[in-house]
Amino acid sequence: MRRCEEIAALLYQYIDRELSDEEYREVRQHLDECPPCKDVFQLEENVLTVVAKCCRNVSAPQNLIDRVRRLSAEHTE
Amino acid sequence: MTLSDTCCPESTQLQEIKDEAITYIDSLYRTAVRMTGNAADAEDLVQDTYLRAFRSIEQFTPGTNLRAWLFKIQTNSFINEYRKRVRRPRNTSLDDVEEYYLYNHLVESGVQPAKSITEDEILEQIDDADVFRALDELPDNFRQVVLLADVEGFAYREIADILEIPVGTVMSRLHRARKRLKDQLLDHRDQIESGVKGQNDA
Ligand SMILES: [Zn+2]
């Protein structure tokens, strides 16, 4: 099993799904067997999920959408 | 559909690309709001992005990532046109953020490695304004990678292409920005907790 420090170094690549299948499995396995690391990863993921949800609540105002639609029509020749 | 099915296949295809481009307006707008810091500048930036995109739509290669292409236009436009206008002072580095890995940081500072806190528990104690404030306090180039990765879900490679920086730089900026973000949000949470505790004690 990989050491905790090595796993911690892969934290963000794991969360971002940027690891190879092999590395992903290794991290997954470590987390299943090591509650402290699992807590660290979980906390990190939770914070980022909260940030993402909060930012995704914002949508474009209708008048902007209308203006962009008009631009799209103008530039069709 | 074959080419002979339609009188002007090229313009039909261009219109389809434009229609698809408009479906990404929420993504572009919410990013623009966080980058410019206000709704009026964000609307200008997004409108300008679409104007540039529609003018150069022939340069877009069908089948490649249209959303990433639009973000690249918007990012360039932000850097070249809008950043100059923004009033608030901006720094561009996080030099005071140490580049320890999370684990080392926790071990060295003697902090208990994270009691597990659920998403709901975080949400209970942090509102949208706290998150926006923490994001706004990041330097532009760090906030940008967080928005592209965490909010818009772009891959490292795509972010590197959008910002025209190496993948390694994307990763190190993300690392430092997220650490700062997390420290700020959880510090805030601790303050609320100790505040509540203080009230109970009194
Ligand atoms: Zn571990």
| pLDDT, tens digit (0-9, with 9 covering 90-100), for B27-50 | 999 999 999 999 999 999 999 999
Supply the mean pLDDT for chain B: 80
A11 to chain B: closest CA residue: B102
Q: Report pLDDT digits (tens) over B88-102.
A: 545 455 544 433 334
pLDDT in tens, chain A (77 residues): 568 999 999 999 999 999 999 999 999 999 999 999 999 999 899 999 999 999 999 999 999 999 999 999 886 55
B50 closest CB neighbour out of A38, A46, A71: A71
ipTM of the complex: 0.91
Quick check: B78 pLDDT over 90?
yes
Q: Considering the entire predicted model, what is its pTM?
A: 0.82
Report yes or no: A47 and B180 within 8 Å, Cβ to Cβ: no
In SS3 terms, chain B reads as CCHHHCCCHHHHHHHHHHHHHHCCHHHHHHHHHHHHCCHHHHHHHHHHHHHHHHHCHHHCCCCCCHHHHHHHHHHHHHHHHHHHHCCCCCCCCCCCCCCCCHHHHHHHCCCCCCCCCCHHHHHHHCCHHHHHHHHHCCCHHHHHHHHHHHHCCCCHHHHHHHHCCCHHHHHHHHHHHHHHHHHHHHHHHHHHHHHHHHHHHC
* Higher-scoring residue by pLDDT: B5, B20: B20
**Partner-chain contact A68 B55, CB within 8 Å:** no
How is chain B split into domains, by residue range? 3-85, 95-201
B3-85, which class in CATH?
Answer: mainly alpha
Phi-psi sector, A21: left (phi>0), alpha (psi -120 to 50), beta: alpha
Q: Report pLDDT digits (tens) over A56-67.
A: 999 999 999 999
Give percent of chain B above pLDDT 70: 72
For B126-141, what is the mean pLDDT? 91
* CATH code of the domain made up of B95-201: 1.10.10.10
* Higher-scoring residue by pLDDT: B114, B41: B41
**Partner-chain contact B119 A51, CB within 8 Å:** no
How far is the alpha carbon of B201 from chain A, nearest alpha carbon, in Å? 29
Report yes or no: A20 at the B interface, CB cutoff 8 Å: no
For B124-144, what is the mean pLDDT? 90
Quick check: B10 pLDDT over 90?
no
pLDDT at B177: 95
CB-based burial label for A22 (10 Å; 0-12, 13-18, 19+): exposed
CATH fit for domain A4-76, picks 1.10.10, 3.30.160, 1.10.760, 1.10.1220: 1.10.10
Quick check: B2 pLDDT over 60?
no
Cα B147 to ligand 1 centre (Å): 29
Interface test with A, best of B34, B45, B50, B105 (most A CBs within 10 A): B50
How far is the alpha carbon of B202 from chain A, nearest alpha carbon, in Å? 31
B54 closest CB neighbour out of A43, A64, A72: A72
Residues B39, B36: Cα–Cα separation, whole Å: 8
How is chain A split into domains, by residue range? 4-76
B127 to chain A: closest CA residue: A54
Residues B81, B98: Cα–Cα separation, whole Å: 32
Cα B95 to ligand 1 centre (Å): 28
Report yes or no: B180 and B94 within 8 Å, Cβ to Cβ: yes
pLDDT at B50: 97
A42 closest CB neighbour out of B18, B106, B116: B116
pLDDT at B198: 44
